[in-house]
Amino acid sequence: MGLRTVEEYQKSIRDGRIVYINGDKVEDVTKNEILKVGIETSSIDYAMAEMPEYRDLAVVEDPEIGEEISRYYYTPKNVEDLLKRHELMVTGTKLGLCHVPFSKDIASDALNAVKITARAMGKPEYIERAEKFRIYLSKNDLSMAGAITCVKGDRSLRPSDPRQEHPDLYVRIVDKNKEGIVVRGAKAHITGAAYYNEILVLPCRNMTEADKDYAVSFALPANTKGLIQIPHPMHYRLGENEFPIELPIRGHTDSLIIFDDVFVPWDRVFMCGEWEYAMTLVYNFAYLHRHTAISYHIPSYEALLGMAQAMAEYNGIEKLGHVREKIIDLVIFVNTLKSLARASCIDYVVHEGIPIPNPIITNIAKYHYANNFHSCAKALVDICGGLLSTAPTYKDWVNPEIGGLLHKYLVGKAGTSAEERLRMLQLIRNTLGVENDVRTLHAEGSLAAQRISIYGEAIRDVQEYKKLAKVLAGIEKPSKNMPILSEYLIKS
Domain 6-278 sits in CATH at 2.40.110.10
Chain centroid offset of residue 239 CA: 27
> At a CB cut-off of 8 Å and minimum separation 6, what does 25 contact?
18, 19
The beta strand positions in 93-252, using DSSP E, are 144-147, 172-176, 180-191, 198-201, 216-221, 227-232
DSSP-based three-state secondary structure for 64: coil
Asked if pLDDT for residue 264 goes beyond 90, the answer is yes
Tens digit of each residue's pLDDT (9 = 90 or more) over 146-192? 999 999 999 999 999 999 999 999 999 999 999 999 999 999 999 99
| Distance from the first to the final alpha carbon of the chain | 78
Tens digit of each residue's pLDDT (9 = 90 or more) over 343-401? 999 999 999 999 999 999 999 999 998 899 999 999 999 999 999 999 999 999 999 99
Asked if pLDDT for residue 55 goes beyond 80, the answer is yes
Tens digit of each residue's pLDDT (9 = 90 or more) over 146-159? 999 999 999 999 99
Neighbouring CB atoms inside 10 A of 218's CB total 28
User: Mean pLDDT, to the nearest integer, of 277-292?
Assistant: 94
**Residue 163: per-residue pLDDT:** 96
Tens digit of each residue's pLDDT (9 = 90 or more) over 312-355? 999 999 999 999 999 999 999 999 999 999 999 999 999 999 99
281-459: CATH class: mainly alpha
Asked if pLDDT for residue 484 goes beyond 70, the answer is no
Domains of the chain, residue spans: 6-278, 281-459
**Residue 28: per-residue pLDDT:** 97
Pick the more confident residue, 70 or 492: 70
d(CA 264, CA 414): 65
**Residue 237: per-residue pLDDT:** 85
Question: If pLDDT is split at 50, 70 and 90, which confidence band does 472 have?
Answer: confident
CA distances from 261 to 148, 171, 182, 258 (A): 18, 10, 6, 9
**Residue 486: per-residue pLDDT:** 60
Tens digit of each residue's pLDDT (9 = 90 or more) over 300-314? 999 999 999 999 999
- Please report, rounded to a whole number, the percentage of residues in the chain having pLDDT higher than 90: 82
Asked if pLDDT for residue 445 goes beyond 70, the answer is no
CA distances from 234 to 91, 92, 170, 221 (A): 23, 20, 26, 24
d(CA 349, CA 352): 10
> At a CB cut-off of 8 Å and minimum separation 6, what does 90 contact?
295, 296, 298, 299
Judged on CB neighbours under 10 Å (0-12, 13-18, 19+), 228 is middle
The beta strand positions in 364-487, using DSSP E, are none
DSSP-assigned beta bridge partners for residue 69: 60
